[in-house]
Structure 1
């Protein structure tokens, strides 16, 4: 017991040099985190300054810290090492960066990563200096391919010519192999230009479009699209005959086309879509991935997950008297689905007025539905030029893949069929040049030791072999393989719905709603953010402390509206009232939202897909908005 100290009664406020392991002191204090030969070289200039007494001790700023700050400093350094590995900075420089950012780990990491990506200054070599013998420094490491990821422990981007080591004492550099005007090395073709790589990869293929089919329950969405796929030859006739016989036995012969997309036994028995069905077909200029979303109000979260992957939407409405009104009135899914897809960023919409054969192809009924929907969709935010209406019948197949043949319809409709309208959708711009982001919507076990995640690439590109981060946990992982619709790919781009096999991370550490991101430019992680929202029809006004469910891509998280910052003008966005007591329906406001755990998100200005949020309560969507500020 004599060897043990009485640490409980020690007074850490006293200056005491007798012990080297006082709390907050590390054995690394006197050494560089990433040692190099620079610390052992004699520097005449530094020696002269030291003799004059005007140079600070290396750890002087650290020595002035209080014990609590020392503990926070040590914790920051450990977390920085775990996240990005060793950095080529002295401990003193690292400490200064941490203190400068007030121990904010995320800001420190961003500063360190930005500093390592800046090219080193190159001084012009004197003309009378003889070119040196080619010597490649063993300490200089390069990344093999910037588009293939980065090694987190060594952060120099790969140059075309290996640079010479720089002498810290002289302040000059050894001439490079090709000293012609010290021009920067030419970048390899297509490796530093994601946009050019995208054009080269996709130039010979049709534009890919993701289309979600939405609408009120029993509007005939699955039957409509199932018949469309059958007419396009995407369904084997033997399979279709089997569905016809099985549906007859159950007394549901009209469901034979719906079973093309509704594949589970429970969906077929209940006669409703419960999960997002997927199928692929082609038009004249597009390759379309169909996302058949559920219409029942109990499965709105599944519908949101499907709509979050979509570029465009097809809204199916029932032309029968009373059926359209039931879906369009308050509480109906026609109204809510249209509102949700617009809040998720879908700007192009086709409206299929289905089952018009049941009202004898009445033009008056068609015009009545169009007039009501036009007014509503304009209020929601759709431009009139981005909305198209088409009369059709999913059961008979009228006006789906070819022009109408019914004489009653031919009397007044001379427009395009449904397939032509889908082909006329504009493909959205793909942000392939932005930092990589992928929102995970499914996780499953793959072959071998790896496991797979699936989701939509929101921004950037991803290649096999890339090193990425899983946020908000910031777990590091490596991409083993990539697939799109079961076809193996070496690189994928923004807008693709992909399956990614990961290694280097445990499956239990990855969850639906997590975000895969660029290791050097990670997504932001926070528990609090500010959002500009629009309140929908709410029974009870939103007040401070209001508990709601946040939908952010595939993430479903309970949150609290912690502050009502200001109420805004709907048209101009100007502040009308500061710190309102409550928010009533149709109000526009700036609010602060507090989550119970960290979540990965982005500002709307940086990444629109990860900057949108929706608030739901009691199975009803009460507000939607965009993230304007992340509070760290």
Structure 2
């Protein structure tokens, strides 16, 4: 594998049943990342369910859907891809955000069938919720795969109708339409995955009409800023890995700075003076190959030593170089939030769940400093007791569980962008949801 080629992390997301697992599984197979022999062993030479390539745990096979984020590596002419697939369900929101937080670009997979598409783009629907979260996480380049085109007779009219309905939804959610690409596909048959489909001859011109061409025409200049000169910040995205030989591993996403082999690190907020959570990095694996260092954007597997089995890093912990005291456990923080949907008032004293990269923590609203108009920024009220739907606010939060975060910076976005929800659904099935960015932090 050519590790000198530019790397790109693409998250595959979309409503349940849209075919994102099938699309990624077939893309992986068609680009040589999964062998025919493995498929033959599983399916006996019969019809292949390409979703199994990604959803192959016993639990996922039994459920028939994605239950946790997973990743695979794909090589294209331009990029080395880390393809991350995420589930799409309110009860799996932590897995969704954990996977999306690693991405530079997202591939949003949608089903064009009228019975399913219109429900998914309605207020509070899966497409709108996912699009808001993508924008919140700073993922500004989207590839939209209109899948299952065979269910609408490969209709150019229906494809254009889906695109026309999606554009204002994506724009409302905060996406720049100049950075969004649309293409039609049938993932089960590999149509418009890496090669053109004869069933859709209307796919003409210079547009990127396949998944492969859409990825290879991504604008590198519009990708999230990656700051290798900043202090090292790594986010623990998997903490429960042990190989057959007994060696322990962590999966870490490098948010900023550079990690080098043999460095000593600590993990906040688990690390305290009384209960140290520190380790020495013995080996760094990137795309199944040992490397000497890892920079921003890389998701790496780390072999380590020195950790206590009784004081292990947790998912969502922030890894820093030992001696870096600029971060630590948070006692209070302030965030500028937008209330996307709230069934009833969001009041001082309320407890909600914060999702930040892979962390999931209960927080209490300690104070609402100001409520403002989201569009104009004009103040609505100072120190209100509560806020309602479709407004913005500057809010002070107190974590009820250990948490480490930082003031939002474009060069280290993963520590300062947050999603808030109690996961409660209204009578219409819409989930309470607020998004925001951290503006001040008190460590203690």
TM over 0.5: yes
Partner-residue secondary structure (3-state), 2:371:
strand
Partner-residue secondary structure (3-state), 1:405:
coil
Give the alignment partner of residue 321 of structure 1, picking from 87, 111, 114.
114
Paired position in structure 2 for 1:468: 265
State how far apart, in whole Å, the 2-side matches of 1:505 and 1:270 are.
Answer: 35
**Alignment pair present for 1:506 and 2:308:** yes
Q: 1:488 to 1:395 in 2, by over 3 A?
A: same
**Alignment pair present for 1:431 and 2:242:** no
State how far apart, in whole Å, the 2-side matches of 1:296 and 1:244 are.
Answer: 28
Q: 1:319 to 1:532 in 2, by over 3 A?
A: same
Aligned length: 423
Q: 1:245 to 1:540 in 2, by over 3 A?
A: farther
Paired position in structure 2 for 1:608: 413
**Alignment pair present for 1:553 and 2:346:** no
Deviation at 1:621, TM superposition (A): 5.1
Deviation at 1:331, TM superposition (A): 4.1
Deviation at 1:263, TM superposition (A): 0.8
Q: TM-score with structure 2 length normalisation?
A: 0.90
**Alignment pair present for 1:617 and 2:419:** no
**Alignment pair present for 1:496 and 2:298:** yes
- Contact 2:102–2:253, Cα closer than 8 Å, also in 1: yes
Over alpha carbons, which structure has the higher Rg?
A: 1
Is the deviation greater in 305-314 or in 325-334? 325-334
Paired position in structure 2 for 1:588: 392
- Contact 1:451–1:507, Cα closer than 8 Å, also in 2: no
Give the alignment partner of residue 322 of structure 2, picking from 519, 533, 536.
519
State how far apart, in whole Å, the 1-side matches of 2:413 and 2:143 are.
Answer: 22
**Alignment pair present for 1:564 and 2:368:** yes
Partner-residue secondary structure (3-state), 1:234:
coil
Paired position in structure 2 for 1:386: 179
Paired position in structure 2 for 1:68: none
After superposition, the CA RMSD in angstroms is: 2.2
Paired position in structure 1 for 2:428: none
Partner-residue secondary structure (3-state), 1:309:
coil
Q: Could you give the per-residue CA deviations for residues 412-463 of structure 1, whole angstroms, max 9, x where no partner exists?
A: 5443221100112234332110000111121233577863211201010011
- Contact 2:254–2:298, Cα closer than 8 Å, also in 1: yes
Gaps of 5+ in 1: 1-201
Deviation at 1:572, TM superposition (A): 4.7
Q: How does 1:156-305 map to 2 (within 5 A)?
A: 205-245=4-44, 253=47, 256-305=49-98
- Contact 1:353–1:391, Cα closer than 8 Å, also in 2: yes
Paired position in structure 1 for 2:427: none
- Contact 1:214–1:315, Cα closer than 8 Å, also in 2: yes
Q: How does 1:423-462 map to 2 (within 5 A)?
A: 423-427=216-220, 428=223, 429-443=225-239, 444-445=241-242, 451-462=248-259
- Contact 2:143–2:181, Cα closer than 8 Å, also in 1: yes
Structure number with greater CO (CA < 8 Å, separation at least 6) is 2
Paired position in structure 2 for 1:482: 284
Deviation at 1:358, TM superposition (A): 1.4
Deviation at 1:486, TM superposition (A): 2.4
State how far apart, in whole Å, the 1-side matches of 2:28 and 2:244 are.
Answer: 31
Is the deviation greater in 600-609 or in 530-539? 600-609
Paired position in structure 2 for 1:105: none
Partner-residue secondary structure (3-state), 1:531:
strand
Partner-residue secondary structure (3-state), 1:233:
coil
State how far apart, in whole Å, the 1-side matches of 2:64 and 2:3 are.
Answer: 41
- Contact 1:243–1:259, Cα closer than 8 Å, also in 2: no
Q: Could you give the per-residue CA deviations for residues 537-575 of structure 1, whole angstroms, max 9, x where no partner exists?
A: 111221111110111111111111111110123245453
- Contact 1:477–1:503, Cα closer than 8 Å, also in 2: yes
Q: Could you give the per-residue CA deviations for residues 331-383 of structure 1, whole angstroms, max 9, x where no partner exists?
A: 43222111112111211100000011211121221122111211011111111
Partner-residue secondary structure (3-state), 2:310:
helix
User: Which has the larger helix fraction?
Assistant: 1
Give the alignment partner of residue 411 of structure 1, picking from 183, 186, 202.
202
Paired position in structure 2 for 1:628: 439
Q: Could you give the per-residue CA deviations for residues 560-594 of structure 1, whole angstroms, max 9, x where no partner exists?
A: 11111101232454534211232111111100111
- Contact 2:15–2:88, Cα closer than 8 Å, also in 1: yes
- Contact 2:232–2:321, Cα closer than 8 Å, also in 1: yes
Partner-residue secondary structure (3-state), 2:23:
helix
Q: Could you give the per-residue CA deviations for residues 7-64 of structure 1, whole angstroms, max 9, x where no partner exists?
A: xxxxxxxxxxxxxxxxxxxxxxxxxxxxxxxxxxxxxxxxxxxxxxxxxxxxxxxxxx
Partner-residue secondary structure (3-state), 2:138:
coil
State how far apart, in whole Å, the 2-side matches of 1:574 and 1:524 are.
Answer: 34
Gaps of 5+ in 2: 425-430
User: Which has the larger strand fraction?
Assistant: 2
Partner-residue secondary structure (3-state), 2:188:
coil
- Contact 1:535–1:586, Cα closer than 8 Å, also in 2: yes
State how far apart, in whole Å, the 1-side matches of 2:386 and 2:280 are.
Answer: 47
Give the alignment partner of residue 141 of structure 2, picking from 331, 345, 348.
348
Q: 1:511 to 1:602 in 2, by over 3 A?
A: same
Q: 1:412 to 1:422 in 2, by over 3 A?
A: closer
State how far apart, in whole Å, the 2-side matches of 1:413 and 1:225 are.
Answer: 24
State how far apart, in whole Å, the 2-side matches of 1:596 and 1:358 are.
Answer: 48
